[in-house]
């Protein structure tokens, strides 16, 4: 499994880093383009929405990047594929769908129920 998984995780890490770099470059370009221009209130609202979308996307990409890097660390230390909650093996189908999964389906569902109960 590691022979195909490690290259995929490494490629995914590089893809995420490249996307984050593009987002950062877009933000720099937008800042330079807007510098010194007076704009209409509607334009400001549109710009604000775009910035909020970019911030949300960046947060999402950084979260996935963190998980991918953590999966690479687990591969290195031999704990990949074990649930971080209960210690049991994570189902192969789950790992195939989400290679950086930290917990098994049962523990994930338990956590989701607890979160929902707190609301």
Per the model's pLDDT, the better-predicted residue between 40 and 87 turns out to be: 87
The stretch 21-38 carries a mean pLDDT of 71
- CA–CA distances in Å: residue 30 to residues 99, 108, 109: 35, 40, 41
* Domain ranges for the chain: 1-80, 83-119
Tell me what pLDDT residue 49 has.
Answer: 81
Tell me what pLDDT residue 1 has.
Answer: 64
> What's the whole-model pTM score?
0.78
> Residue 38: pLDDT band by 50, 70, 90 thresholds?
low
Provide the percentage of residues in the chain whose pLDDT is more than 70. Answer: 82
Residue 86: closest CA among 106, 62, 112, 67: 106
What does the alpha-carbon distance between residue 74 and residue 93 come to, in Å, rounded to a whole number? 18
Tell me what pLDDT residue 100 has.
Answer: 97
Would residue 12 be called left, alpha or beta, if left means φ above 0 and alpha means ψ between -120 and 50 degrees?
alpha
The stretch 62-67 carries a mean pLDDT of 98
Tell me what pLDDT residue 39 has.
Answer: 64
- Count other Cβ atoms within 10 Å, centred on residue 80: 23
Tell me what pLDDT residue 41 has.
Answer: 61
């Amino acid at each position: 499994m590691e022979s195909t998984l490690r290259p995929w995780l490494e490629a995914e890490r590089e893809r995420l880093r490249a996307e984050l770099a593009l987002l950062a470059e877009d933000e720099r370009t937008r800042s330079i383009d807007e510098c010194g221009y007076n704009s209409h209130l509607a334009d400001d609202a549109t710009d604000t929405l775009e910035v909020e979308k970019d911030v949300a996307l960046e947060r999402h990409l950084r979260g996935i990047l963190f998980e991918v890097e953590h999966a690479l660390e687990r591969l290195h230390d031999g704990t990949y594929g074990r649930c971080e909650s209960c210690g049991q093996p994570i189902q192969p189908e789950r790992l195939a769908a989400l290679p950086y999964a930290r917990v098994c389906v049962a523990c994930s569902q338990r956590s989701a129920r607890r979160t929902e109960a707190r609301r």
